[in-house]
Structure 1
C-alpha cells in the first residue's frame, strides 16, 4: 500500500475513533442518519450535530492549517526545527489576541484575527532578523525564537494579572480548546484557509529551487524576497487564524513535516500534502485522547495541553536527528570591547548601594509617591528578606548563565531554556492542581522534585552525546512548550489557588519570609564558592573540546559536573521565587561586553549585574503601579528580554 493509502487509512481510523468517543451513547447508524439528513430530533442528536461533529471538522481544519504552516516554514528556512512555536509566532499571535480583548474589545469581535496576525508577524520577523540569513539553518534561529517566546509570554502574563476580569474568558481558549456548541467557528475559519490551495498550486517549483540555495534559485529567475515574504505571510495567516479560532495548539506544525520526511516525502508538494494529512491525523488523535481523559476524570482536558504532552518527546527525537545531520554553529563571540574593569566595578558597587537605599528608604503612599524616610521596624522586617532573596536569585542565575554560555560557547544560551526551571514550574502546577495544596505550602518541595526529575532526564538523554549542551537546550525547549500547555490548563481552572500559582510562575517575592531568604542565601553562596574552583574548566571548555581534552579535561565528567551546578542553582532559586527569565542570559553578556573575558572576571561581574537587575526590578515592580504590584520575575523578563533583543539588533546590523 502506498504512503498516501496508509495516511488515508490512519485518517479514517482517527475520524471513526473520534466519532465514537465524542458520542458513545449513539450508534454509528444513528450518527450516519444525522449526518446525511443534517437534522436532530433528540438531545443526543443535537449534541452530536452541534458539538461533536463541528469539533471534528474544526480539528481537521486546524490540523491541516498548522501542519501546512510548519512545512512552509521548514522548507523556507531549510531547518527542520522551525515551527510557529519555535519562531515565537504562536506567542505573538496569542499576545495580539490578549491585547485586543483588553484594550480593543469592540474591534476584537470582528478583527481579532488581524491582531493575531500582527503579533505573529512581529514576533517571527524579530526572530529572523536576530538570527540573520546565516543563522536560519541552525539552532541560532531557534534560540532567538524562544527568547521572543519568553519575552512575549512575560508581557502577556502582566496583562492577564492586571486585567483578570477581561481575560477570564480567554483562559480556556488559550489552552487550545476544540469544544464547540455550533458551527460558527467552522464557518468562520474555512474561508480563511482557501490560501492553502494557492500554496499547493504555485509553490512547487520555487520551493524546489530554494533547495539549491539562494544564489542558485535567484540565478534561475526566482524573485527570492518576494516569494519568501509571500509564503511566510500565508503561513503566518494560517497560524493566526487557527489560534484565533481555538487558541494555542503546540507542536503540530513542528512534528507533522518531520514525520512526512521520515516516511519518504521528498518533493516540496509531496511534503506539503503529507504534512497536511499528518497534521489532521495528529490533532484528531490528540483530541481523542483529550476527550477520553475528560470523560475519565469528569473534568476539562484541553486539546492543546494534550498535543504538548505528546509532542515534547517527538521534538527531542527530531532535534537529535537534526543535530546529527547539521551540527550547531557555536560562537564564542560576546560582542566584547576592552574596558577598565576597576572603573566598572566601582560604578556597579555604587549603583548597588543606591538601589539598596532606594528600596529601604522609599516610602510611597497614595498622596505622595516620592517620599523618603527611615523605615520602621515592621517595614524593615518585611523588606530585608525580599532584598536578600532577590540578591541571591540574581547572583545564582547569573552564574548559572556564565557556566551555560561557556559550556555551549554561545552567548544566546540561557538557564531558562535548559529545562530545570521548567521542571520546577511543571511540578508546582501539578501539585497545586492534583494535591489541592496552596502554592505557599507546595512550592519548595514540588519545585525541587521537579528540578531533580529534569536533571535525571537530562543525564539519561545526554549521556550518549557526552552531555552536549545543544541536545540539552533542545530538551529544555520541548519542556518549555509542554509547560505552556499545562499553565494554560491551570488558568482555565480559574480558582484562587490557581491565581496564586500564576503569581508564583510570574516570579514573585511576595511570599518570601526571613527563614527562606537565609536558606536560599546559604545555598547560593555555597554553590558560588564551588563554582570558583571550576574556572579552569570553564576557561578551557569555552575555547574548544580539542583544547580542553588536550589539557587533560575529561569532557563528559566536566560537562556533567557543570550541568549539575547549573541545575542546583536554578532549582534553589526557582523553588523560592519562581522562574526568573533572562537574568542568566543578560548578566554574563553585559559582563563580557564591559571587558570581563576571563572566567573568574565574568563570574564576578555577572554576579554584580544579576543582583543589580533583580534589585531594580524588585523596586520598580513594587512601586511603578503603586499600590498594585507587578511580579518581579515578569518585569525582569520584559526588561532583560527587551534589552537583549536590542543588543542583538545592533550586532546583527553591524555584521551585515
Structure 2
C-alpha cells in the first residue's frame, strides 16, 4: 500500500474518532459553554463539571487504554509468533477478572488500595497455566489459543458462579465485567499514561531481539538471543499492561488482537514502526468504539459497556485470521474408533454407577454443619421436590453427551462437543431471539429458538471449515471463535439490564431449581426420542470417521447424513441448554469417558455416552445444591468448573 493511501486511512479513522467525540460532547454541552483550561470546579456549573471530569477524561482513557491493549497484542503476537494472540485469547484478562471478583466478594479491603496488584496476580496465574500448556508443545499457535480461551472460559465460569451466589454484588460486578469506560476524574487517565509510557519505553528496547525471534528459536539462539529470557520479559510487560487496564476498566476484549493487524493492513512491517502503529491503531479503535457507544446511547437511550461492544469483533476476526495460522499438528489427535465390543461387565458397572449416583442424590443432604443421610420420613417429604430436578438433570446431561458423541464422529475430531463447536452458543442466540420476538415466550417457543440457533451455528461452522479445508484442530478453533461471538452478543444484551437480560443471566448460569414435574417428564421423553433418532444414524456415524472418499465409495449420502446428524445434535443441545445453559462440557466428557471405558462401537458408544452424561450432570446437580449450602450454585456453571479444566488437560497433557 502506498504512503498516501496509508495516510488517507489514518486520516479517515482520526476524523471519525474526533467527529464522534465532538458530536457527543457538544450534544451534552454546546462548545461555547465549555470551561477554559485549567479547570476550576469552583467556577463551573454542574454541566461543565460533568464535561470536564467525566466526558473528556473518558475520551483520554479510551485512547490510552486502547493504545496499551494494542501494544500488548503486538508483543504477544511477536513473542509467540502467533497472529491471534492477545490478552483476550490467552485468558489473561479473564484471570484478572476472576481475581477481582474473588477479592470483591471475600477480601474487599484489598480492592481499595491494591486493585492493580490483585489483577496482576490473577493475570499472571492465568498466563502461567497457558504458557505451561504451550511449552509442552513448543508454543504451537492453535494449542496456545485453545488453551487460553478455555482457561478464560474456566475463569469466567468461576467468576459467574461466585457472582450469582452473592446476589448483593450482582449488578456492580456484571457492569464492571462489561468494560465500562465511565470516569469521575482524571486519576485513571494519569495512571494509564504512566503505565503505558513505561511499557512502551521498555518494549522499544526489546524490538531487535523480538525481530530475531521471528527467525525461529534455534536461529535466534545462534545469534546470541536468550529466547527464554526474552519470552519471559515480553510476556511480563504484556501481563502488566493488560492487568492494569483490567483493574481500572474491566474486560475490554479483542482490541489487542485487532490493532496489530490493522497496522499491518496499511503496510507497516518493520518492528519499531509496527509497535508504535499497533498502539496507535488500538487507541483509535477503542476511541471509535466508545464514541459509537455514546452516540447510540444518546439516540436510543440504550447504554452498553464499551467492552461488550469491542468483544463483538472477536469472533469474526478470529475466523478471518484462522487460515493465516501456520500448519501444525492437532493439539489432541482423535484416537481411532477401534472395532471391538465393549464388555457386558462394562454396561453392568455403568448401570451400577448411575444407580448409585441417583441414590446419593436422593438420600444425601446437608445442613450448615454436617452431611447426613436422610431418614425415610425426610426422604418422603423431599422426594416431590427432588425427583423432577434429578430427572431433568439426567436427561439434559444425556442429551449433551449424545450430541457430543455424534459431533465427534461427524467431524472426526475427538475434541468436538456442543460447547466447543459453538453449538451451545448458537442455542443461546436462538434463546435470546425467542425472548425478543415473543412477548411472553412459552417453553416450547424457547426450545424451538434454541434448537434453531444451535442448528444454524453448527451449519455455519461446518460450512466455513469445509470451504477453507480446515484440519480438525482448526475446526475446533473455528467453533471456539463462534462461541466467542455468541458470548459477546449475549454479553451486550445482558448489559442492557431489562427483564430480558435477567432471563438471559439465569439461563447462562443454568439451574434445575425451577424444574416442574411436567417439564422434567417432557425433557426425559425428548431424550428418549432423540436417542432413538440417533440410533437410526448408527451406520452413518460408523462410516463418517473413515473419511469422505470411503463414504462415497460405500454409497453413503453425504449431504443427507450430515444434515440429519446436525439436526439431531441441534435438537439435543437446544433442549438441554434450556436447563443447564451454554457451558457445561458434559458434551465433551461423556463421549470421552465412554470411549476410554471401551465403548467404541457406535451403538454402544451412543448409549454409554448418554448414560455417562446423565451421571455427570446428576453429580453436578448434587454438587451445585450442597457444596455452597445454603446457597445454590448455577448447575451449568458448576459443571463447567470440571469440564473446562478437563478439556485443557486433554489439550496440554494427554499424549
TM over 0.5: yes
- Counterpart pick for 1:121 among 119, 124, 144: 124
- Counterpart pick for 1:302 among 284, 294, 305: 305
TM-aligned CA deviation for residue 479 of structure 1: 4.0
Q: Please tell me whether the aligned partners of residues 252 and 279 of structure 1 are also in contact (alpha carbons under 8 angstroms).
A: yes
Partner residue in 2 for 1:422: 425
Partner residue in 2 for 1:317: 320
Q: Please tell me whether the aligned partners of residues 21 and 291 of structure 1 are also in contact (alpha carbons under 8 angstroms).
A: no
- Counterpart pick for 2:248 among 223, 232, 245: 245
Q: 1:515 to 1:465 in 2, by over 3 A?
A: farther
Partner residue in 2 for 1:395: 398
Number of aligned residues: 649
2:570 is equivalent to residue 581 of structure 1:
no
TM-aligned CA deviation for residue 428 of structure 1: 3.9
TM-aligned CA deviation for residue 287 of structure 1: 0.9
Q: Secondary structure at the match of 1:635?
A: helix
Q: 1:541 to 1:365 in 2, by over 3 A?
A: same
94-103 or 343-352, larger mean C-alpha shift: 343-352
Q: 1:236 to 1:418 in 2, by over 3 A?
A: same
Q: Please tell me whether the aligned partners of residues 158 and 641 of structure 2 are also in contact (alpha carbons under 8 angstroms).
A: yes
Q: Secondary structure at the match of 1:370?
A: strand
TM-aligned CA deviation for residue 92 of structure 1: 1.0
TM-aligned CA deviation for residue 98 of structure 1: 0.7
TM-aligned CA deviation for residue 632 of structure 1: 1.6
- After superposition, residues 203-242 of structure 1 pair within 5 angstroms as 203-242=206-245
Q: Secondary structure at the match of 1:80?
A: coil
Q: Please tell me whether the aligned partners of residues 452 and 570 of structure 2 are also in contact (alpha carbons under 8 angstroms).
A: no
- Counterpart pick for 2:347 among 333, 345, 348: 345
Q: Secondary structure at the match of 2:83?
A: coil
Partner residue in 2 for 1:607: 610
Q: Secondary structure at the match of 2:26?
A: coil
Q: 1:382 to 1:647 in 2, by over 3 A?
A: same
Partner residue in 2 for 1:633: 636
**Alpha-carbon displacement from aligned partner over 1:562-620 (angstroms, at most 9, x marks no partner):** 33333222112113442242111212222232333443343333222211111111122
2:7 is equivalent to residue 5 of structure 1:
yes
Q: 1:237 to 1:383 in 2, by over 3 A?
A: same
Partner residue in 1 for 2:21: 19
* Alpha-carbon separation, structure 1, partners of 2:297 and 2:434: 19
2:308 is equivalent to residue 329 of structure 1:
no
- After superposition, residues 498-537 of structure 1 pair within 5 angstroms as 498-499=501-502, 501-537=504-540
Partner residue in 2 for 1:198: 201
Partner residue in 2 for 1:359: 361
Q: Please tell me whether the aligned partners of residues 220 and 227 of structure 2 are also in contact (alpha carbons under 8 angstroms).
A: yes
Task: Structure 2: give runs of 5+ residues left out of the alignment.
Answer: none
Q: Secondary structure at the match of 1:12?
A: helix
2:263 is equivalent to residue 260 of structure 1:
yes
Partner residue in 2 for 1:97: 100
2:373 is equivalent to residue 371 of structure 1:
yes
**Alpha-carbon displacement from aligned partner over 1:489-535 (angstroms, at most 9, x marks no partner):** 56655677755542321121122222322332233322322323434
Q: So what's the TM-score if we normalise by structure 1?
A: 0.88
* Alpha-carbon separation, structure 2, partners of 1:122 and 1:342: 45
Q: Secondary structure at the match of 2:89?
A: coil
* Alpha-carbon separation, structure 1, partners of 2:10 and 2:172: 37
Q: So what's the TM-score if we normalise by structure 2?
A: 0.89
* Alpha-carbon separation, structure 1, partners of 2:342 and 2:448: 44
Q: Secondary structure at the match of 1:169?
A: helix
**Alpha-carbon displacement from aligned partner over 1:173-203 (angstroms, at most 9, x marks no partner):** 1111011121121122222223332344222
Q: Secondary structure at the match of 1:329?
A: coil
* Alpha-carbon separation, structure 2, partners of 1:340 and 1:455: 30
Q: 1:303 to 1:75 in 2, by over 3 A?
A: same
* Alpha-carbon separation, structure 2, partners of 1:636 and 1:211: 41
**Alpha-carbon displacement from aligned partner over 1:618-655 (angstroms, at most 9, x marks no partner):** 1222222333211221111112233444565543xxx5
Q: Please tell me whether the aligned partners of residues 363 and 374 of structure 2 are also in contact (alpha carbons under 8 angstroms).
A: yes
- After superposition, residues 53-92 of structure 1 pair within 5 angstroms as 53-92=56-95
Q: 1:434 to 1:544 in 2, by over 3 A?
A: closer
* Alpha-carbon separation, structure 1, partners of 2:271 and 2:542: 45
- Counterpart pick for 1:160 among 153, 156, 163: 163
TM-aligned CA deviation for residue 128 of structure 1: 3.2
Q: Please tell me whether the aligned partners of residues 312 and 482 of structure 1 are also in contact (alpha carbons under 8 angstroms).
A: yes
* Alpha-carbon separation, structure 1, partners of 2:67 and 2:73: 10
85-94 or 476-485, larger mean C-alpha shift: 476-485
* Alpha-carbon separation, structure 2, partners of 1:117 and 1:208: 27
Partner residue in 1 for 2:414: 411
**Alpha-carbon displacement from aligned partner over 1:86-141 (angstroms, at most 9, x marks no partner):** 22112111101111111221111222222212222222332333344536444333
**Alpha-carbon displacement from aligned partner over 1:454-476 (angstroms, at most 9, x marks no partner):** 35644764563479866764454
46-55 or 418-427, larger mean C-alpha shift: 418-427
TM-aligned CA deviation for residue 409 of structure 1: 3.7
Q: Secondary structure at the match of 1:85?
A: coil
2:274 is equivalent to residue 271 of structure 1:
yes
Q: 1:39 to 1:486 in 2, by over 3 A?
A: farther
TM-aligned CA deviation for residue 166 of structure 1: 3.8
Partner residue in 2 for 1:106: 109
* Alpha-carbon separation, structure 1, partners of 2:366 and 2:204: 64
Q: Please tell me whether the aligned partners of residues 455 and 564 of structure 1 are also in contact (alpha carbons under 8 angstroms).
A: no
- After superposition, residues 554-573 of structure 1 pair within 5 angstroms as 558-573=561-576
190-199 or 241-250, larger mean C-alpha shift: 190-199
TM-aligned CA deviation for residue 64 of structure 1: 0.9
Q: 1:334 to 1:194 in 2, by over 3 A?
A: farther
* Alpha-carbon separation, structure 2, partners of 1:128 and 1:462: 27
Report the RMSD for the aligned CA atoms in angstroms: 3.4
Q: Please tell me whether the aligned partners of residues 443 and 576 of structure 1 are also in contact (alpha carbons under 8 angstroms).
A: no
* Alpha-carbon separation, structure 2, partners of 1:545 and 1:169: 52
Q: Please tell me whether the aligned partners of residues 263 and 281 of structure 2 are also in contact (alpha carbons under 8 angstroms).
A: yes
401-410 or 296-305, larger mean C-alpha shift: 401-410
TM-aligned CA deviation for residue 222 of structure 1: 0.9
Q: Please tell me whether the aligned partners of residues 455 and 566 of structure 2 are also in contact (alpha carbons under 8 angstroms).
A: no
